[in-house]
Structure 1
Amino acid sequence: MGTSEDKSIFSSYVKKEGLYDEVFDENGGVKSGYQKLLDLYGTRSIDDYVSLNNKAKSSFFNQGITFQVYGNKQSQEKIFPFDLFPRIITSEEWEIIEKGAIQRNIALNHFLWDVYHDKKIVKDKVVPIELLSSSPNYLHQMMNVDPPNKIYNHISGTDIIKHSDGNYYVLEDNIRCPSGVSYVICNRTALKRALFGVFNHYKTHSVTDYAENLLHLLETAKPHGVDSPVTVVITPGMFNSAYYEHSYLAKAMGVELVEGRDLFVENDFVYMKTTQGPVRVDVVYRRIDDLFLDPMEFNPDSALGVPGIFAAYRKGNVTLANAPGTGVADDKAIYTYMPDIIKYYLNEEPILKNVHTYHCSRPKELQYVLDNIKDLVIKPVDEAGGYGISIGNRLTKDEIERVKSEVKANPRKYVAQPIMSLSVHPTYIDQKESFEQRHVDLRTFTVMGKDEQFVLKGGLTRVALKEGNLIVNSSQGGGSKDTWVLKQ
């Protein structure tokens, strides 16, 4: 991408054939929207960039922007890796992403209401009952429960990739406790501190309005009859992998961060203990998994939850965001039916495409997967964080046989997808002190309130920092970039 005399930070950048580069075209030219950025970054030497990168890392460390990685024997706290070279999304592209994310999450909310009430989609033979009954996230306790304002997935994270054909595809839906939004905001803050001047040359949408919009929409989903709702964020505690995000969002919204021991239930209402006495709580943004939420209803050994909170919820006296039982809709087996779900409830064609997915519980598809593992990505339907994924062309013969055995032993647990060619983006690699191509995806964040939705204009661009790796999750060694959505 440069000459021997070119000493810019992109002088050693190599563009590999067959990969969709978001910044450079096939002839090495700069794509629309990036030229100013390249000019601004190109005035800096590698030494300058190393210094700025170290400043950004120090900023993250000082702010406590970390996450926990869980190994077999111990967990480790790490600074969230952040690349100072941002990703740009045009207003035209963003309009498609935003409309697609809203469409998808409205359809999922209809689906959740239906499967916990009349099950019309099952009776009409669109989604098989076996898929629901065999899902560990389908909670019988939620049958015929009416969440306040009929909202289940208040906060959704939709994982989207740009394929080598230039189109956007949804990889998966996350509507239990999607995480990562705090990193979006902190990435923007860190970039502004390190390279404030670059923002003078672009008109980008803000991401710092997320907490304000989140609180507003959560409050619109308040229980019936409540005028001025009290909202809290409930966390499992400081040892949780996303504790930084829990504390950040509570502070940004100006609400209390609580643990289960800080709340109690009396006469089917939820109260928070304070130095001035009990205060009624109306909206709980929960970052505790379903089974640990209420020991009286789910796991009796849970010390993280609030005894009796589910009874209060069932009676409509408190809003839980997200609703218990939403996990059945982000089951990767349900994902295979998303185009049908959108058409069934909204009578619309999907705006964002699914990646073609094989569900191993179907005998013909199972056989195809077993015969073609080397060309597929195998995913467990109920894991998150990139855990349990097997990429066929990276496996040894012995590993392929092991994966086959695991899939055959429990076909319901696995889906398979073609190995998609995620787009790549110039990314600074610390160890080499140079820019290289790395695969990226995008997690968008959609918040649903009463009669309105908000999509954060930016989202979390995640980067697979290992060369050639397609798994972008931070728990698997991934990092992130600031994501600029340009104004028209």
Structure 2
Amino acid sequence: MSKLDPLPGLSPYPLHHFFDEMFEGERIVRPHYSHVNRMFAGMSPGELQAKQVLMQRRMMEEGITFTLYNPSQIQPMERTIPFDMIPRIIPREEWEKLEAGIIQRVTALNLFVHDIYHEQYIVKDGIVPRKLIIANRYFRPEMAGLRVPGGAYITTSGIDLIRHSDGQYYVLEDNLRTPSGFSYLFKGRSLMNQLFPELTFQNAIRDVDHSINRFLSVLRSLSPSHTSDPVIALLTPGEYNSAYYEHAFLAQQMGIHLVEGRDLVVQDHKLYLRQMNGLKRVDVLYRRLDDDFIDPLAFEPNSLLGVAGLMNAYRAGNVAIANAPGTGVADDKAMYAFVPDMIRYYLKEEPILNNVPTYLLSKSDDRQYVLDNLSDMVVKETSLSGGYGMLIGSEATRQEMDEFRLKILTEPERYIAQPIMSLSRAPILSEGIMSPRHIDLRAFVLTGSDRRPHVIPGGLTRVAMKEGSLVVNSSQGGGVKDTWVMS
């Protein structure tokens, strides 16, 4: 390891008790960051600031945006997602363990979803409580006994990981319905190649571009028609959705149709795309809206976003839907606590990656412990994501804690709690100054009909842009970094 070369004119980089991805001990640079450190140390604050401005300009020109929704604002605010230029770097050996643990986890989750909608062996054997399934808002009785085209329930998943102060990785959440962030991963690498070609090409980094082709291959593999060139469409809620840029980006990159519900119609239990010259049969629908809205005849009757009769076409085996309806039963935050047991049950293996210790507030002992230690806990509503419906005890006011205490006592089954974890930090450049921020890692997994999960190398590092904050979600103002896996 080498001593940190202080960046000219920059403030000292403070060291605390958090695990730092780039530095160790008394400002010792970790070996895999040595090239990155030397390059940024050789640039003046003015040069760094100019690069940042150029980066933001490129993102604005390409429309790389995310929409923030604030209850105090009448209109949602569209902005470029903050992108930090200092990459997050993961050594090869470290990534190989992460990759194996992620594949193990997603494999077990796919088996679990199939089991829940068929024999329910895991419930009959007392591993997962039946009440947890039946009361789950994402459980879809309509999926019971249904043969899923391609056999993969969870085609796309985003597994959120953190590194604690002990240096170990923990799984924080499983996102299995309509995970987002793919576009920021691919565009982040593209922008780094443009702005820092000398940096990205001088380091042996795992390629991510081929994963776009893998994404397309996975979707093709689900086609029930088994044609050599199946018709694939990406169903978006429309341009006002917070992740619309990603929908458009993925459709363009994969060469598939970008559609809204009004562009589709079901006839004779088959799904068709409306075109100027008539109807075109759709084989695979990659949907980016939740179950409730995909078919007004099956779920939310007032939905204007979906396609009437889609579930009938799906039941008839004439179209594949990715992800399959009902996968949310496995990414409910209460279900998360049972994933290690699922791995042991279905795979007969010990989990490679640990969960964060989790308290189910429906259990009286867990509930009392959490209420007695609320200031040291993160409390989450089981069915929400994106940083919503959450209390971080160490940052909460007395009034906020009292309000959550009442919510827990009123509907304890709606909440889980976890101890506040010391998310690892990585440096960001803020107005030319290197400053530490907390980060996590969203690993993206693609699973096709062969049931062999593919983990996109590196995934997306999410950054809490506010100093000291632990909230990294884009919907809460978080940013992103390019993530390198060394090869």
TM-score normalised to the size of structure 1?
Answer: 0.97
Could you tell me the percent identity over the aligned residues? 45
Partner of 1:142: 143
Aligned residues: 483
Residues 225 and 211 of structure 1: CA distance in aligned 2, closer, same or farther (over 3 Å)? closer
Q: What is the Cα deviation at residue 19 of structure 1?
A: 1.1
Q: Secondary structure at the match of 2:174?
A: strand
* 1:117 and 2:118 are equivalent in the alignment: yes
Partner of 2:448: 449
Partner of 1:48: 47
C-alpha distance in 2 between matches for 1:226 and 1:123: 39
Partner of 2:358: 357
Q: What is the Cα deviation at residue 398 of structure 1?
A: 2.3
C-alpha distance in 2 between matches for 1:84 and 1:185: 14
C-alpha distance in 2 between matches for 1:158 and 1:173: 5
Quick check: 1:204–1:486 contact (8 Å CA) kept in 2?
yes
RMSD: 1.5
Q: What is the Cα deviation at residue 194 of structure 1?
A: 1.4
C-alpha distance in 1 between matches for 2:201 and 2:239: 38
C-alpha distance in 2 between matches for 1:229 and 1:360: 46
C-alpha distance in 1 between matches for 2:145 and 2:371: 39
Q: What is the Cα deviation at residue 396 of structure 1?
A: 2.3
C-alpha distance in 1 between matches for 2:193 and 2:393: 40
Residues 374 and 7 of structure 1: CA distance in aligned 2, closer, same or farther (over 3 Å)? closer
Partner of 1:318: 319
TM-score normalised to the size of structure 2?
Answer: 0.97
Partner of 2:157: 156
Quick check: 2:9–2:45 contact (8 Å CA) kept in 1?
no
Partner of 2:482: 482
* 1:82 and 2:50 are equivalent in the alignment: no
Partner AA of 1:287 in structure 2: R
Q: What is the Cα deviation at residue 224 of structure 1?
A: 5.3
Instruction: List runs of 5+ in structure 2 lacking aligned partners.
Output: none
Partner of 2:203: 202
Instruction: List runs of 5+ in structure 1 lacking aligned partners.
Output: none
Partner of 1:58: 57
C-alpha distance in 2 between matches for 1:226 and 1:117: 28
Quick check: 2:235–2:287 contact (8 Å CA) kept in 1?
yes
Partner AA of 2:435 in structure 1: E
Instruction: Note the 1:78-477 alignment, pairs <5 A.
Output: 78-223=79-224, 225-430=226-431, 433-451=432-450, 452-477=452-477
C-alpha distance in 2 between matches for 1:200 and 1:312: 48
Quick check: 1:147–1:316 contact (8 Å CA) kept in 2?
yes
Cα deviation, 1:461-487, whole Å, max 9, x if unaligned, reads 000011111110111121010000110
Quick check: 2:232–2:256 contact (8 Å CA) kept in 1?
yes
C-alpha distance in 2 between matches for 1:472 and 1:298: 32
Q: What is the Cα deviation at residue 149 of structure 1?
A: 2.7
Q: Secondary structure at the match of 2:19?
A: coil
Partner AA of 1:57 in structure 2: Q
Q: What is the Cα deviation at residue 165 of structure 1?
A: 0.8
Partner AA of 2:411 in structure 1: N
Cα deviation, 1:172-203, whole Å, max 9, x if unaligned, reads 00000000010011111111221111123201
Quick check: 1:2–1:10 contact (8 Å CA) kept in 2?
no
Partner of 1:29: 28
Cα deviation, 1:225-253, whole Å, max 9, x if unaligned, reads 54431111110100001000000000000
Partner AA of 2:475 in structure 1: S
Residues 225 and 87 of structure 1: CA distance in aligned 2, closer, same or farther (over 3 Å)? closer
C-alpha distance in 2 between matches for 1:48 and 1:11: 13
Q: Secondary structure at the match of 1:34?
A: helix
Quick check: 2:269–2:313 contact (8 Å CA) kept in 1?
yes
Q: Secondary structure at the match of 1:449?
A: coil
Q: What is the Cα deviation at residue 11 of structure 1?
A: 4.1
Q: Secondary structure at the match of 2:341?
A: helix
